[in-house]
Amino acid sequence: MRDEWFIRGKVPMTKSEVRAVSISKLELKPDSVLYDIGAGTGSLSVEAALGMPAGQVFAIEHKDDAVELIRQNREKFRADNVTVVHGHAPEALLGLPPATHCFLGGTGGKMEEILAVLFKQNHAMRIVANIIALESLSGILELVKNMDIPAEVVSVQVAKAERAGNCHLMKGQNPVYVISMGGETT
């Protein structure tokens, strides 16, 4: 889905190309239950929900302005299988139906606590995290190593053409590391 289709405001959003890779790495099924932790604008929640007609997405976000954007985007795209959860993870996960999949867009520095709760809830959960900072990448890799969980890391680097006079020049976006772990093995 195009980025410009979403209502954005000033809340960070997972960009289209990174969303495509992240959703692919989630390996969702039509009836999956997905937690989107740090849901931002809800772009990933909405796009994933539209591809899971019998599934459920819980968009977990603690920022008031972001929660409102998720609600607006859910309504705009008629993604009725998205439930907005206003709160901080991992506490906001209590009482939710167990997830089969989780996307980590933002953890507020609680990556270890969140992963512990997720894997305790479902040891076969498929988890995908988007990381920008090198320190966060190092931290999550050390964490999953200590938890003895194999992880795949993909670096997504996108450049888009921008008009400069009569020409177009490529303008690079920040690289994003997409970390995938867990899930069913076939």
pLDDT score for 75: 97
pLDDT score for 183: 87
Q: Is the dihedral of CA 143, 111, 93, 80 positive or negative?
A: negative
| pLDDT by 10-residue block (mean), the chain, 186 residues | 89 91 97 97 97 97 96 97 97 95 92 92 94 93 92 95 94 94 79
Say what the pTM is: 0.93
pLDDT score for 186: 60
pLDDT score for 185: 66
Strand 126-131 to 176-182 pairing: antiparallel
Torsion angle, alpha carbons of 111, 116, 117, 122, to 10: 120
